[in-house]
Amino acid sequence: MSTTQVAKSMTDAQLDLLCINTIRTLSIDAVQAANSGHPGTPMALAPLAYTIWNRVMRFDPQDPIWPNRDRFVLSNGHASMLLWSVLHLTKTMAVNADYEIVGQPSVTLEDIRRFRQIGSKAPGHPEYHLVSGVETTTGPLGQGIATSVGMAIGQKWLANRFNKPGFDIFDCNIYTICGDGCLMEGIGSEAASLAGHLQLDNLCWVYDNNHITIEGNTRITFTEDVAVRFLAYGWSVLRVGDANDLEHIEDALTTFRDTKHRPTFIVLDTHIGYGSPHKQDTSAAHGEPLGVEEVRLTKRAYGWPEDAQFLVPDGVYDRFAAGIGARGAQARKEWNELFAKYKAQYSDLANEVELMQRRELAAGWDRNLPVFAADAKGIAGRDASNKVLNVLAQNIPWFLGGSGDLAPSNKTALTFPGAGDLQPETPGGKNMHFGIREHAMAAIVNGLSLSKLRAFGATFFIFSDYARGAIRLSALMELPSIFIFTHDAMGDGEDGPTHQPIEQLASLRAMPWMVLLRPGDANEVVEAYRYVMQLRHQPAILVLSRQALPTLDRSKYAAASGVAKGAYVLADAPGGSPEVILIGTGSEVSLVAQAHEMLITQGIRSRVVSMPSWDIFEHQTQEYRDSVLPPSVKARVAVEQASTFGWDRYVGEAGRVVGMKTFGASAPLKELQKKFGFEPEHVVAVAKELLGKK
């Protein structure tokens, strides 16, 4: 009898087990070939992944970005072979950066053979920007579950805006797998607490309860009653005692879909390396291949050909095609037909959905943006930001966000009629209240962005440290998430060094694919937002002042539109031939402008360069950069109330940086500025010293 005939003669249960063991053995073989990776968790969780994908989830492998698909998040991303196996066996197709199906598999068998190697679409952890079918990058434990909360909020928001009687355009669910590490990390607790408060009944976390971490059994560190903790958060808690019982797993997932007003937490009791007769320890879970002999013994226990490698038996692809393939294709077909009718009846809303999917903006998105008149007293960056946010949120229906319990101080409240608060009873509100949860806030913003909303999260700049993990992932994923940070330097002087960012600017500027802008007055704030909102594949950080900054007279100084170049000549020496260049960012732009005026009166030809963004400036042509910072002018002074680290690239060996080499202090702002040299007289003195003038 041929292998095809054998497959056809199998019962459904036998075919299910064949598929599960294919997931297991592909994972084992890939880790063994790479001599790197985590085989145990994919082995243990293969039945769960198979049940979610082939029995439950609405996902069409032929169109993995179909808007109303269910989402699958592998938060314990070290088990990535579980996902690569499933994406391959379901024949999920690849999508390019323009959101077009490109007609080739997302993950090939050759990719799996080359697991964790250069060029393989089966990297060590799930990578959103690299592999179609990956809904979010995971790796740092806890980030996946926190991001899934943002996805669930996003789907609730979309349903509230777009669903109409007879048209459930958005009604999908988010399935998330997590482990002990995800639940130990604080970000997981923050996210779970908020998810319970918001009653996200479209969110399901399945907890791989295997009692093992790298250092050993969880009894040495993690003895809390996790189920009771989630009950206290307001979740529905279920338990499946046997990770190989497909029927009970499916029953639990059905119960999740039937549960209203509560997210669901399923405790799944597993054993690391299930099926391996000897490897019931941490090595299989955390980074060690089984070894050649153990692989053979494990395959023997599965009833698998011991010498076969990367084997996909006859019947496996067909089983997935008849399951998720057929079910997903039918669901997408029905949705497309429904959306066509919806488009005929609600054309404006349908157009919004289509724009969002391509990360485009509606016509007129920047209409009515404020223009600020010259004002010596000026306005704080955070206050200018508030005015811009309230315009953008009215022009862009899917633009929303909030602060980590700091909206009155960050000035992020959306106050126009109809903005509303996003709460359990009002999931379409535009004002997010994250609570004092900066870690989870940033991850949730990423989840909202992954749902194709334009979202922002805000806090004090010093607390960007708390949000940094998710900020970094937004850059890795190339998401247009927006992070708004106020209190950019010493403006909250009396709060002291714990609230005064020093090293944060240098640290975040070092992050690849991240756009950081530190605007110097209200009109630069407007232009910063104008630039940021047009980004499709890059996150952005806006660093804004707490204190009022003079609004520069643009009839005297260059137009603020220069922000789009990253740096521009704000004011120049008579005749345009400067002896010295003064470079400022953010709060210090007006300071260097004052120093410039003082130098001019003393007959010293100076140029003022406003440099809100190193990253944008570095992407300009060499010709433009040289026009702003002529190589022939060696005397340069950069002024920034932050670490001097990195400024040497712009001031050179002959230049100087007026910046911070220590932490700050607790005192009124003016006293701090005097103590640390952030006064125009000091900048003038430094410039004259460079020129050898007294």
The helix/strand/coil state of 208 is strand
Inter-residue contact 171 to 131 (CB < 8 Å):
no
- Among residues 185, 438, 524, 579, the one annotated as catalytic is 438
Residue 273 has pLDDT above 60, yes or no: no
Which range, of 158-162, 352-356, 498-502, 680-684, averages the lowest pLDDT?
A: 498-502
Residue 8 token pair: 């056809």
The helix/strand/coil state of 570 is strand
The alpha carbon torsion through 681, 684, 686, 688 (nearest 10 deg) reads -140
Across residues 342-369, what is the average pLDDT?
Answer: 97
d(CA 264, CA 257): 9
Inter-residue contact 104 to 94 (CB < 8 Å):
yes
503 part of the active site: no
Please name the amino acid found at residue 424: P
Instruction: Domains for the chain: give ranges and CATH numbers.
Output: 3-326 (3.40.50.970), 375-550 (3.40.50.970), 559-691 (3.40.50.920)
Q: Residues 131-151: pLDDT tens digits?
A: 999 999 999 999 999 999 999
Spell out the residues 6+ positions from residue 90 whose beta carbon is closer than 8 angstroms to its own.
53, 54, 61, 320, 324, 325
Residue 662 has pLDDT above 70, yes or no: yes
The alpha carbon torsion through 518, 521, 523, 529 (nearest 10 deg) reads 20
What's the DSSP call for residue 529?
A: H
Inter-residue contact 610 to 562 (CB < 8 Å):
yes
d(CA 168, CA 337): 12
Q: Find the farthest-apart pair of alpha carbons in the chain and give their distance in angstroms, rounded.
A: 98
Please name the amino acid found at residue 676: F
The helix/strand/coil state of 127 is coil
Reported confidence tier of residue 6, pLDDT bands at 50, 70, 90: low
* Overall pTM > 0.85: yes
Across residues 568-576, what is the average pLDDT?
Answer: 93
Containing 591, the helix (H) or strand (E) segment is helix 589-601
- How are beta strands 375-380 and 548-551 bridged, if at all? antiparallel
Inter-residue contact 545 to 522 (CB < 8 Å):
no
pLDDT of amino acid 4: 61
The helix/strand/coil state of 610 is strand
Residue 285 has pLDDT above 60, yes or no: no
The total number of residues shown for the chain amounts to 694
Q: Residues 236-271: pLDDT tens digits?
A: 999 999 999 999 999 999 999 999 999 999 999 987
Reported confidence tier of residue 621, pLDDT bands at 50, 70, 90: very high
